[in-house]
Structure 1
Amino acid sequence: MIKTASFGIVHVSVAFGVVYVLTGSVVIGGAVALIEPLANTVAYHYHEKVWDRIRRRPATVTGGGGHVLQG
């Protein structure tokens, strides 16, 4: 849990730092540092749902070398 919290702090700090350097605005940097991780969390949720669906597909066989491809 400490590692996760530490990474969260790094993520928010990097987001703030990059936007602050690009814009010079503490307000915009702060807003992006709060919004970007939230948007990424939502995107990650749907990303995982897609990969779960891919993993559940039955294996398919290629026509070339006879290798079985699995998700």
Structure 2
Amino acid sequence: MLKTITFACMHFSIAFGVVYLMTGSVLIGGAVALVEPAVNTIAFYFHEKVWQRVERRKQLQLRPNTPIMQA
């Protein structure tokens, strides 16, 4: 979860900076910096969970007699 939070902080900063440079508006930059990274952070969390499942299945394929456990 700490990885997700630090990613969110970085993403908020980048989103604000890019939109502010494009528009010159602190209000629009702030709005985009709140909405877009928040949605992206949630998507990132689930993306990580999917990849963890993929990696687990790869490991289990190396051991064909091991049953697949559902998370």
> Per the shorter chain, which TM-score range?
0.5 to 0.7
Q: How many residues align?
A: 56
| Structure 2 unmatched ranges of 5 or more | 63-71
> For residues 48 and 13 of structure 1, do their structure 2 counterparts lie closer, same or farther at Cα, with a shift above 3 Å needed?
closer
Q: What is the root-mean-square deviation in Å for CA atoms of aligned residues?
A: 2.5
TM-score between both structures, scaled by the size of structure 2: 0.59
More helix by share: 2
More strand by share: 1
- Between the two structures, name the one with larger relative contact order (CA 8 Å, sep ≥ 6): 2
The share of aligned pairs that are identical, in percent, is: 57
| Structure 1 unmatched ranges of 5 or more | 61-71
> Any runs of at least 4 consecutive aligned residues in structure 1 with deviations exceeding 4 A, and if so which?
none
Q: How many Å apart are 1:35 and its aligned residue?
A: 1.3
